[in-house]
């Protein structure tokens, strides 16, 4: 009896917590409706656009506040620039990369280290012919276009899904966290995904 009495307070607490959690779960479930599932991604997309725009303006105006504009792209742009420099043999030298980025940005920020294979530097070399900020904006626009094209390409990969829920799928893709990282950091994910999708289409065309 004494043992059961000692356990009863904890049991009551457990039941109370479980009941509150159940009620909270039901409230959360009530918040998720078909209409809101369309609205929430729109809110995230608007927030993404605003955040990327403000961050880009601040980083371009003064890189010392938040760091370089699109730091991932800066690393690739640096590789392209050093490959065309007078001493391409120092492509992977951190001090050379740091000095190159300091000249490009006009100030010192954390090093965006280029570690990719030389073929990647060759791909980015044409972009390195432009001033960094202009080149970065061009890459941002290109990534956005490629990302939208990749989302629309789901029509051929998942025709049933896109036929029924095309708008919801596109909104969900564009509102995802990886998209924020891609656009904010200047990653090459959209380009790689586009190449991958083109490869799948070519394979399917030869197969058919």
| pLDDT tens figures, 111-146 | 999 999 999 999 999 999 999 999 999 999 999 999
Cα gap 88→45, rounded to integer Å: 41
| pLDDT tens figures, 182-206 | 988 999 999 999 999 998 888 877 7
How far is the first Cα of the chain from the last one, in angstroms, to the nearest whole number? 76
Cα gap 150→57, rounded to integer Å: 27
DSSP 169-191: HHHHHHTSHHHHHHHHHT-SHHH
pLDDT of residue 1: 47
Helix, strand, coil percentages (3-state) for the chain, rounded to 5, are 80, 0, 20
Give the distance from CA 34 to its chain's centroid: 26
Helix (H, G, I), strand (E, B) or coil at 73: helix
Question: Phi and psi at residue 177, in whole multiples of 5°?
Answer: -60, -40
pTM of the model: 0.75
Query: Contact 188/74 with Cβ under 8 angstroms?
Result: no
List of the chain residues with pLDDT < 70: 1-9, 29, 32, 34, 37, 207-208
Provide the residue ranges of all domains of the chain, joining segments of one domain with +.
35-207
């Amino acid at each position: 009896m004494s043992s059961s009495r000692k356990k009863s307070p904890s049991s009551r607490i457990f039941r109370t917590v479980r009941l509150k959690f159940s009620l909270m779960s039901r409230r959360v479930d009530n918040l998720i409706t078909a209409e809101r599932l369309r609205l929430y991604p729109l809110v995230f997309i608007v927030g993404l656009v605003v955040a990327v725009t403000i961050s880009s303006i601040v980083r371009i105006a003064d890189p010392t506040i938040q760091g370089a504009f699109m730091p991932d792209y800066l690393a690739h742009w640096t590789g392209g620039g050093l490959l065309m420099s007078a001493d391409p043999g120092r492509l992977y030298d951190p001090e050379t990369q740091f000095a190159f980025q300091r000249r490009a940005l006009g100030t010192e920020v954390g090093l965006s280290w280029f570690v990719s294979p030389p073929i990647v530097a060759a791909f980015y070399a044409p972009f390195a012919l432009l001033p960094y900020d202009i080149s970065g904006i061009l890459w941002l626009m290109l990534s956005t276009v490629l990302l939208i094209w990749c989302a629309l390409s789901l029509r051929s990969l998942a025709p049933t899904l896109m036929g029924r829920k095309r708008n919801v799928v596109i909104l969900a893709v564009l509102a995802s966290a990886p998209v924020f990282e891609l656009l904010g950091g200047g990653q090459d994910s959209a380009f790689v995904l586009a190449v991958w999708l083109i490869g799948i289409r070519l394979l399917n065309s030869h197969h058919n």
